[in-house]
Amino acid sequence: MSQTPPAGGHALAQIISDRLGKAERLRNRGEPPWGVDFHPSSSCAAAAALVPEAPGEEGEPLSVAGRLLALRSSGGIVFADCHDESGALQLVASREGSQPELVERLGELDPGDIVGARGRPFRTQRGEPSLRLEGLVLLAKALRPPADKRRGLTDPEQRYRRRYLDLLSEPGARQLFRQRSDIIRGLRRALDERGFLEVETPVLQPIPGGGDARPFSTHHNALGSDLYLRIALELYLKRLLVGGFERVYELGPVFRNEGVSPRHNPEFTLLEIYQAYGNLASMQELCQDLVGAAVRAAGSSPALESERGLVSLEPPFPARPMAELVAELTGLDPEPLWEDPDRFLQEVMRLGVEPPAQASPGRLLFAVYDQLVEPNLLGPCFVTQYPVEVSPLARLGPDPRFVERFELVVAGRELANAFSELNDPLEQRRRLTEQARLRAQGEEEAQPFDEDFVEALEHGMPPAGGIGIGVDRLVMLVTGARSIRDVLLFPALRPSPGEA
């Protein structure tokens, strides 16, 4: 390994080469730059708390481990900021207070290096909690420098592509992902307390059902069959209701072969819950409870600043039929138009709404709601009475044009989707047959027919309530994140040219 920097080379190449040289010199001295064990007795934050108040006084010896993010050498004294997950502690080596060798060794380390340090806690003249070094061991030499110490990593591409650098240089990033974990744990705890069983169903499915979305496809070599990554959890969880489990949920990734945006990632985390002998009312209550659990777990206030304005997540959330919201917010009353689809279509187009391919009254109503009402609905609001045409898995309501379904809308976004589940196998067969017909006509998002699922219903599924919650969007809402990429550790990006 050459120790001479390349003449006229790239700055980064020079840095790496220089650091490699340092690593090599350490190795030659019998100090391996990687792979040494070290077990700190204390976290940096805990050590800082043990520092005596009086200047000049020293505490009992202890050890910490972490990454050096700044080194300041001033002649015979060297300061280094050691960071671990808990916080930071300043390491100090001075000719009068430590072995001279330690001053030397600390001084030749680089920002980014991970070290183990032993010493006595004390306070510097300026009052900074510090550790007077009595021992120092390099645990991992960093060959590349950390991000800019002043500004951190501001290029969003780099933040997402090399998340570890973002986490390292932005304390807020780590905090956000800790909140995400807290929220997910809060949801699980709330469900566990209510007697729900967490299950795992296939990610690879022969028929990707339960939602309207285009799937990713793959192939199983040994089986010689095509498989799809699941777009929803619904049909397998309902099979479990047939099987006698009465309260089940699954929280995990689903995959949709669709566009990427600040609110969409091709893989995202979905929570689906099914409760035998539940209905729409029990799902509303559960939904409110879970949103509340998420807010509490995140340590957030129920009064949240969203892109659309201030939102209060204090229950209860009001419930409003879709047709009522449309009439109120667009002035278009769907009721008198229901028997006159042609006029309905005209009125819809007059509002500037892109009409659906199949212009039935229900689809027209949904189009107006979807394009004009939902995006402007601050909420929280349970939007109820969805047209049957757009809800092939939900039970009909008293008015057979509509199903017993709600979506929870907050700040113009769907946060949850719930039904009284359809358990009539004959009706389900008709609805899925209709979906298959639309699919054959080229509607790629219509649901494929799943004979095995219908057969399961023919064995008898108890009446049930079910709900799906977009976990990433819930996390965004309660943490105030603007982009879904901010709440996903490794969001979807195109492969960079170098790794394509």
Using CB under 7 A as the binding rule, the residues of this chain from 358 to 377 that contact RNA are: 370-371
CA distance 173 to 282: 36
Question: Which of 258, 215, 262 has the alpha carbon at shortest distance from 413?
Answer: 262
What is the end-to-end Cα distance of the chain in Å, rounded? 30
| Identified binder of RNA from the candidate list 29, 150, 219, 350, rule CB under 7 A | 150
Compare residues 74 and 221 and give the one whose CB is closer to RNA. 74
- Residues 6 or more apart in contact with residue 445 via CB below 8 angstroms: 212, 213, 214
* Helix, strand, coil distribution of the chain in percent, nearest 5: 35, 25, 40
DSSP-derived 3-state class of residue 172: helix
- In a 13 Å sphere around the CA of 357, the CA atoms on its Cβ side amount to 9
Backbone angles phi, psi at 276, to 5 degrees: -60, 140
Compare residues 276 and 311 and give the one whose CB is closer to RNA. 311
DSSP-derived 3-state class of residue 123: strand
Compare residues 212 and 246 and give the one whose CB is closer to RNA. 212
Segment contacting RNA by CB under 7 A, of 222-230, 263-271, 330-338, 418-426? 263-271
Segment contacting RNA by CB under 7 A, of 38-46, 68-76, 290-298, 379-387? 68-76
Taking the complex as a whole, the smallest distance from the CB of residue 485 to RNA amounts, in Å, to 6
Q: Which of residues 404-423 bind RNA (CB under 7 A)?
A: 413-415, 417
| Identified binder of RNA from the candidate list 149, 174, 189, 430, rule CB under 7 A | 149
Taking the complex as a whole, the smallest distance from the CB of residue 48 to RNA amounts, in Å, to 11
**Running DSSP on this structure, what letter comes out for residue 140?**
E
Q: Which of residues 436-465 bind RNA (CB under 7 A)?
A: 445
212 near RNA, rule: CB under 7 A: yes
259 near RNA, rule: CB under 7 A: yes
101 near RNA, rule: CB under 7 A: no
Please give the size of the binding site for RNA, defined by CB under 7 A. Answer: 81
234 near RNA, rule: CB under 7 A: no
Q: Is the distance from CB of 456 to CB of 393 less than 8 angstroms?
A: no
| Identified binder of RNA from the candidate list 105, 118, 239, 256, rule CB under 7 A | 256
Q: Which of residues 289-348 bind RNA (CB under 7 A)?
A: none
| Identified binder of RNA from the candidate list 90, 179, 205, 385, rule CB under 7 A | 90
Segment contacting RNA by CB under 7 A, of 292-300, 310-318, 420-428, 466-474? 466-474
Amino acid type, 274: Y
| Identified binder of RNA from the candidate list 177, 268, 369, 453, rule CB under 7 A | 268
| Identified binder of RNA from the candidate list 2, 28, 74, 221, rule CB under 7 A | 74
355 near RNA, rule: CB under 7 A: no
Compare residues 76 and 202 and give the one whose CB is closer to RNA. 76
CA distance 424 to 40: 62
Compare residues 246 and 260 and give the one whose CB is closer to RNA. 260
| Identified binder of RNA from the candidate list 58, 128, 285, 434, rule CB under 7 A | 128
| Identified binder of RNA from the candidate list 265, 330, 384, 420, rule CB under 7 A | 265
Backbone angles phi, psi at 492, to 5 degrees: -70, 130
- Residues 6 or more apart in contact with residue 240 via CB below 8 angstroms: 199, 201, 248, 274
Q: How far, in whole angstroms, is CA 325 from its chain's centroid?
A: 31
| Identified binder of RNA from the candidate list 26, 33, 81, 136, rule CB under 7 A | 81
349 near RNA, rule: CB under 7 A: no
Q: Which parts of 199-316 fold into alpha helices (H)? A: 234-242, 280-298
Which own/partner pairs from 16-20 qualify as long-range (CB within 8 Å, at least 24 positions apart)?
A: 16/143, 16/144, 19/110, 19/141, 19/142, 19/143, 19/144, 20/143
483 near RNA, rule: CB under 7 A: yes
